[in-house]
Structure 1
Amino acid sequence: MPSGKIRWYDANKGYGFIENEEGKDVFLPAMALPAGVTTLRKGTKVEYSVIDGRKGPQAMGLEVIASAPSLVKATRPKPDDMAAIVEDLIKLLDTAGNGLRRHHYPSAADSRKLATLLRAVADNFDVQE
């Protein structure tokens, strides 16, 4: 059974490509995915059968061998560091909340800073397995 790595896969389009061991691309339609799998990360190791499609080799009967590691998960802060970040963010939000109770939004610069921090913290919590 040939093996390779996912070059890219777009669940919305319903297809992607596998880079086989020789470095050539193999078309990967959504119907070739195993039951319960709806998306694949770039770099995921797979085994598959090959058939001749209309435009060249096409994968069928795909099996996931090893998922690609999550870059976000590997680079997120340690829990102790994250606790300090969350506590500082709570202080900033409390200050913004007090201003809002007095019918005043934070300044534009403070609002941008707060929004950036909220997005960064949210990204560290929202790690897909």
Structure 2
Amino acid sequence: MTAIITLDDNNSVHASNLGVAGALEQIGLAISDVDPRLARWLIDKSNRSGFTMEFDLRGLSDDRRAAFWLGVDRANEKFRDIGPDVGPSVYVIRLFHEKRDLHGKAVDKQVSPIDLDDIWFDDNTNTAGPTAL
């Protein structure tokens, strides 16, 4: 199955659920020091299946989109020295990173705000803990 993450410019990343799940987890881990609430939500999304892990970045505030892209940069740097034969998660991280450099101006389309309190799995995967959020 394929998961879709819609980007700022209405472009999107289409990749296997396995790849998107691993990428979202790594991006979340990479920003746990910057935005623990978003990190927790991304890690929770990574544990979901199929279309339930999909989202539209335009539903995040400007600051949270900036944190997401920082996480992409950090995750990409973490796996920078891995060769071209990478697993699906690293492939998706690299795809996000490439799209980050190529994406155009944000499209002014009304998108519902993302509720970061919409957590399905509370397995304490975040570093801040649920009470600190």
Structure exhibiting the larger radius of gyration computed from Cα positions = 1
Q: Which has the higher strand share?
A: 1
Higher-RCO chain (CA-CA 8 Å, sequence separation at least 6):
2
More helix by share: 2
